[in-house]
Homo-oligomer: A and B are copies of this chain.
Amino acid sequence: MKGTAELLKEHQLKVTPQRLKIVKMLEKHGHINIEDLYKEMLKEFPSVSLATIYKNINQMIESGLIQEVKLPETKSVYELIKEPHLHMVCDKCHKVEDIVIGTEKIIEEAEKVSGYIINESFITLRGICPDCQKR
């Protein structure tokens, strides 16, 4: 288990209280949008500026610590970069989850059909999560 401060240092980012909080929020929530992140930050740093949030998010993206996830029908969310995964979005409760499954098959097929050499895939699936199915 890697410390939050170490994570920042590994990405050449100075360790500041605001950055620590941002990363901890990402660790806790998995995915979060700018607005919610700002609201949460305000609780701990009443005078935090939205500009600070934006600047840090952009720096974290540039340094390869986090990435933006564009989802249909909603604002983008951000997540820590880890192993490649798909996104599941629930139509009812709107939660976002990661799942790891093989994508070799579909990528191979897409390469064959399109002639592209594929470097990365972005897959989002929307539907009803197990919890919402029960209701």
Contact = CB atoms under 8 A, between A and B. Distances in A.
A105 B107 contact: no
A4 to B, nearest CB: 26
B116 A129 contact: yes
Interface in A89-110: 90-91, 97, 99-103, 105-107, 109-110
Copies in the complex: 2
A72 interface: yes
Given A99-B113, A115-B130, A133-B117, A122 B88 contact: no
Given A72-B70, A114-B97, A91 B105 contact: no
Contacts of A127: 111, 116-120
- Sorting the interface of chain A by its residue count into under 10, 10 to 19, 20 to 34 or 35 or more gives 35 or more
B86 A110 contact: yes
A67 B42 CA distance: 35
Given A109-B102, A110-B88, A123 B121 contact: yes
A120 B116 contact: no
B109 A101 contact: yes
A55 interface: no
Contact of A101 (B71, B113, B115, B124): B113
10 contacts: A70-B70, A88-B116, A106-B106, A106-B123, A115-B130, A116-B128, A119-B128, A120-B126, A122-B122, A123-B123
